[in-house]
Amino acid sequence: MEDRRDDVVRQFCRKLLGYSLGREVQLSDKPLLDKMMSDLAENSYRFSVAVEAIVFSDQFRNVRGQLAAGE
């Protein structure tokens, strides 16, 4: 597991992000994936850290092509 930890964590982040956004992960999501990976490493790989990174991300909070409520 130590040898491939980064690969496993990156794939986990990609799948969780894709599912959360309801679309495929795009190149523009790379900074968020990198942040998720570093946050997970700093916090003992707790699942809640990955979820929090997604929920507070612009990608999750803003759906392309739709106006925000009240606009």
Q: Which amino acid is at 10?
A: R
- Torsion angle (degrees, nearest 10) of CA 27, 25, 10, 8: -140
Residue-level pLDDT at 66: 59
Determine the pLDDT at residue 62: 87
- Are 63 and 55 within 8 A, CB to CB? no
Q: d(Cα 36, Cα 40) in Å, to the nearest integer? A: 6
CA dihedral 4, 16, 56, 43 (to 10 degrees): -30
- On the question of pLDDT at 68 being above 80, the answer is no
**Predicted pLDDT of residue 63:** 72
Q: What is the pLDDT of residues 14-39, one digit of tens each?
A: 999 999 999 999 999 999 999 999 99
Task: Find tokens 């799948």 and name the residue.
Answer: 15
Residue 69, pLDDT score? 56
pLDDT at 38: 95
